Amino acid sequence: MDKLIITGGTQLSGELRIAGAKNAALPILAAALLSEEPVTIGNIPHLHDITTTMQLLGQMGVRLTIDEKMNIEVDCCEINKFEAPYELVKTMRASILVLGPLLARYGQACVSLPGGCAIGTRPVDIHLDALLKMGAEIKVEGGYIHAKASRLKGCKLVLEKVTVTGTENLLMAAVLAEGTTIIENAAKEPEVSDLAHFLNAMGAKITGIDTGVLVIEGVEKLGKKDLYYKILPDRIETGTYLVAAAITRGKIKVKDVRPATLDAVLDKLTEAGAEITIGEDWIELDMHGRRPKAVNIRTAPYPAFPTDMQAQFTAMNAVADGVGVITETVFENRFMHVQEMQRMGANIQLESNTAICTGQKKLTGAPVMATDLRASASLVLAGLVAEGDTLVDRIYHIDRGYDHIEEKLAQMGATIRRIPR
Ligand code: EPZ
């Protein structure tokens, strides 16, 4: 298993281009199943989860053509299998996103239950309850969701919790349903909106985008000739590199970004003492060589502070000036990075879903282990500022969500390299 070794102590500086959003690319590739015409999707990030999604679609009979600019043409004209097998779903929970489109267009789906993961049980009950309400027949047997529907029927859905992939699955189910569907308490994450814009570009009729109440008027079919759709920039990758600069007291400029999707994160970086300058598609962060100040964080659905940035800010609070309190309200077990940071000398007390971080002047490099995508990124950030070497193991988690992380950090001055297994 590959490892990353980081020697801390360098202030990051330089410029960086940000890739397309993983959490928009995954639902949009799944949504291509709805299209009667081949569709080309651009700005796809070069990530393991994208490879997994291409395997998932390919084994259904979808024809995928990828070019050197990471544009993917998706042609669903010869689908002959409507299944998402456990072997693929166990490596990527987001495979559940094929359920909605398969049901909507082909009236059948057999999708492995995603199961839990390190950060929580992650049920899909809200997805299934809503599809049942839309007239699907669903049987959960042998670890698989067996679903079928002659034609889904539009109805009013009030989601009991804000769920990102739940909203996305139901959006994709509703676009070809008979009649109108209203989704209340819908997720407002920018990736959900990007999916809605993609569906509308294919001919869907979705209104209320970004409002939390989505209204979808079902149509007979979807697909536009020669459609090209560019994925929005990854706000979590953007935030992660901005924290990398803040934690090392450096100065960086990130380009090809969408600043308006990061308001809550930029507010907290400013509170931590960063000087933030924003352009149309770029953000510059300058710490002027100063140690970050501790900040209090409470994660919640968009537009509040994103749970996917919580681990990164825990790392920053670990070396910040003062005490920062971080409360995780979205997932029940998303502090696994804490015990690894404690081994590096961090002073963090866990009390239920809250981490009380008393900033230390320094951390000491150590061998640490990644447990999930964002926790692994946070350990790299801690290694950037720790004295000595930090060896991050199980970095396949990182490769799922960060495209060439060591190259991007090294080009900004970090001492980091990958040790192949
Ligand atoms: C998406 O996961 C993201 N993944 C996650 O990013 C992100 O952390 C999460 O949204 C929250 O923003 C993708 O978009 C592929 P949820 P998702 O359904 O959709 C509960 C990363 O780092 N819930 O919004 O699975 C659930 O247990 C990943 O890129 C139910 O109870 O998250 C959680 O407590 C990690 N029943 C809360 O809702 C359901 O049917 C929010 O989960 C669905 C969800």
Q: Around 257, how many Cα atoms within 13 Å sit in the side-chain half-sphere?
A: 27
Q: Which atom of ligand 1 is nearest to the CA of 125?
A: 40
Sequence letter at residue 13: S
Catalytic residues: 117
Q: Rounded to the nearest whole angstrom, what is the distance from the C-alpha of residue 122 to the centroid of ligand 1?
A: 7
Nearest CA to ligand 1 atom 42: 163
CA of 297 to the centre of ligand 1 (A): 19
CA angle 304, 281, 238 (to 5 degrees): 50
For ligand 1, whether the C-beta of 302 sits within 6 Å is: no
Q: Which residue from 390, 412, 399 is spatially nearest to 6, judged by alpha carbons?
A: 390
Cα 134 to middle of ligand 1, angstroms: 22
CB 37 within 8 A of CB 227: yes
Identify the pLDDT of residue 2. Answer: 86
**In 10 A of CB 75, how many CB atoms?**
17
Pocket test of ligand 1: the residue of 29, 52, 122 to mutate, having most ligand atoms within 8 Å of its CB, is 122
Q: Is the CB of 126 under 6 A from ligand 1?
A: yes
Site to substitute for ligand 1 among 97, 129, 161, most atoms within 8 A of C-beta: 161
Q: Is 17 exposed, middle or buried (0-12, 13-18, 19+ CB in 10 A)?
A: exposed
Residue 148 Cα, ligand 1 centroid: separation in angstroms?
24
From ligand 1's centre to the CA of 164, what distance in Å?
A: 6
398: nearest Cα among 242, 237, 255, 234 = 237
Q: Which atom of ligand 1 is nearest to the CA of 114?
A: 25
Atom of ligand 1 nearest to the CA of 122: 27
What SS3 string covers the chain? Answer: CCEEEEECCCCCEEEEECCECHHHHHHHHHHHHHECCCEEEECCCCCHHHHHHHHHHHCCCCEEEECCCCCEEEECCCCCCCEECHHHHCCCHHHHHHHHHHHHHHCEEEEECCCCECCECCCCHHHHHHHHHCCCEEEEECCEEEEECCCCECCEEECCCCCHHHHHHHHHHHCCCECEEEEECCCCCHHHHHHHHHHHHCCCEEECCCCCEEEEECCCCECCCCEEEECCECHHHHHHHHHHHHHCCCEEEEECCCHHHHHHHHHHHHHCCCEEEECCCEEEEECCCCCCECCCEEECCCCCECHHHHHHHHHHHHCCECEEEEECCCCCCCCHHHHHHHCCCCEEEEECCEEEEECCCCCECCEEECCCHHHHHHHHHHHHHCECEEEEECCHHHHHHCCCHHHHHHCCCCEEEEECC
For residues 83 and 80, give the distance between their C-alpha atoms in angstroms, rounded to a whole number.
10
- Does the beta carbon of 120 sit less than 6 angstroms from any atom of ligand 1? yes
Of the candidates 4, 1, 2, which has an alpha carbon nearest to the alpha carbon of residue 405?
Answer: 4
Of 358, 378, 372, 254, nearest to 310 (Cα)?
378
* Residue 197 contacts residue 231 (beta carbons within 8 Å): no
10-residue mean pLDDT profile of the chain (421 residues): values are 93 97 98 98 95 96 93 94 94 95 98 80 91 97 95 98 98 98 98 98 98 98 97 98 98 98 98 98 98 98 98 98 98 94 98 97 95 93 98 91 94 95 75
What are the φ/ψ torsions at residue 249 (nearest 5 degrees)? 65, 30
The predicted model scores a pTM of 0.97
